[in-house]
Structure 1
Amino acid sequence: MIRAYNQVLNWPNALTSVRISVIPLLVIFFYLPVSWAHSAAATLFAVASITDWLDGYLARYLKQSTKLGAFLDPVADKLMVSIALVLIVAEPTFQFVSTKSAIVSMPTAAITIPAAVIVAREIVVSALREWMAELGDRTSVAVSRFGKIKTAVQMIALVVLLYCDNSTNAFLVFTGYFLLYIAAGLTIGSMVIYLKAAWGQLTSV
C-alpha cells in the first residue's frame, strides 16, 4: 500500500498539483491594487505553463505515468486556461497606450469571441474523449502534435494578455490579440481532427 502511495505521489503528479494550487494566486495577483499586479500574474501563469511541459517530460523520462496524472494533467490545463480567459474578458475595458500616447479602448467582443471559441472547444473535446473512453477507444482522440502547437500558442497569448494593462503599448496588446486569434483558429482545427478521428464511432448504429 505504501509503495502504491509513493507511486501516485511522484514528481510529475506533484508538479501538476502545484499547478492547480497556484490558480487562486493567479486571481489574487491579477487583482492586486499595485502596478506590478499583471506582471506577477503573467509570470505565475508562464511558470505554471512550463510545469505543464515538465511534468509530462518527467512522467515519460522517469516512467512514472499514473492514472491520477492522466486525470489531473488535463484538468490543470483546462482550469488554468479557463480562469485566465475569465480574468482577461472580465476587464471592464481593455485599454492600452497608442503610439501617439493616447488611451485607446478595445471592444469587448474582440476578446470575448476567441475566448468563447476556446472554451467551447474544450467542452466538446472533453466530452468526446470521455465518451470514447467509455467505448474503450480513447487513443483515437489522444493529444496530437497539432493540439500541442495549439496549446503552446494559446499559453503564450494568455501570458501576453495577462501582462497587459493600461500602461502597455499598442504593439504588445495587438500581439496578444493576434496570438489568441491564431490559438482560436488552431483550436477549431484540432477539434475537427479529433471529431474526424472519432467519426466512425459517432456515426455507428
Structure 2
Amino acid sequence: MRLNLPTWLTLFRIFLLPVMVVAFYAPFRGANVAAAAVFVLAAVTDWFDGYLARRFDQVSAFGAFLDPVADKLMVAVTLFLLVQNHPTALLAVTAAVIVGREIAVSALREWMAHVGERARVRVALLGKFKTALQMVALVVLLLQHDSETLRLYHVGESLLVLAAVLTIWSGFAYMRAAWPVLGNGRGASGA
C-alpha cells in the first residue's frame, strides 16, 4: 500500500499526540502555549488532509479509516489531560459526554456500513460546527490549564459545555437518521 500526502498528514497528527502530552506536562514557562500550539497544528492538518484528499482525488480506504481515528484520539487525549489537571465534576461530565458520543456514533456508523446504509449517517453541518466549537474550547483550555488567574479558563469551559450540548444534539440527529434501519432489526446478530 502506497501512502499519499493526506494520509501522511493524518499519521503526523497522530504522532503529534505524544508531543502535545509532553508539552502539557513540561516544567517550563510557556508549556501551555506549546501544548496549545501543537494542538492547533494537529487541527490544521486535520482540515488540510481532508482538503487535499478531496481536491486532488487522493481519498484512500486507509486514509478514510485513519482520519476519524486520529480526530477522536486527539480530542479524547486532550480531554483526559484537562480533566486530570482540573478534576471538576463539570469538566469530567462534559468530557464523558463528548467521548461517549464519539464512541457511540463511531459504532453506529460502523454498524450502518455493515448493513449497507452508511449514507444515512454522513457527517452533517451540525457535526462540523460542533467540532469547530470543540476545537476552539480545547485550545482555550490548553492555553489556560496552568495559568495562575484562569481568566479565560471559564470561557473555554463554557464553550466546551456548549460543544457537549451540540454533541448530544448531533448524536440524536444521527440516531434519528439511522432509526428506520435500527428499528426494523436489519443486520441484528442476535446478541
For normalisation by structure 1, the TM-score amounts to: 0.87
Deviations 1:38-92 (CA, angstroms, capped at 9, x unpaired): 111111001100111111111110010110111000000000000000000001x
User: Which consecutive aligned stretches of 4+ in structure 1 deviate over 4 angstroms post-superposition?
Assistant: none
Instruction: Tell me whether 1:157 sits opposite 2:133 in the alignment.
Output: no
Instruction: Tell me whether 1:13 sits opposite 2:7 in the alignment.
Output: yes
How many angstroms apart in 1 are the aligned matches of 2:148 and 2:126?
A: 31
How many angstroms apart in 1 are the aligned matches of 2:127 and 2:58?
A: 23
Q: Which amino acid aligns with 1:19?
A: R
Q: Which amino acid aligns with 2:44?
A: I
Structural mapping, 1:14-163, within 5 Å: 14-91=8-85, 94=86, 108-163=88-143
How many angstroms apart in 1 are the aligned matches of 2:13 and 2:174?
A: 26
Q: Which amino acid aligns with 1:117?
A: V
For normalisation by structure 2, the TM-score amounts to: 0.93
What's the RMSD between the two structures over aligned residues? 1.2
Q: CA deviation at 1:171?
A: 3.5
Matched with 2:178 is 198
Max radius of gyration: which structure? 1
Q: Taking every aligned residue pair, what percent have the same amino acid on both sides?
A: 52
Deviations 1:85-118 (CA, angstroms, capped at 9, x unpaired): 0000001xx4xxxxxxxxxxxx711211111110
Aligned length: 185
Q: Is the 8 A contact 2:144 2:150 kept in 1?
A: no
Q: CA deviation at 1:35?
A: 1.4
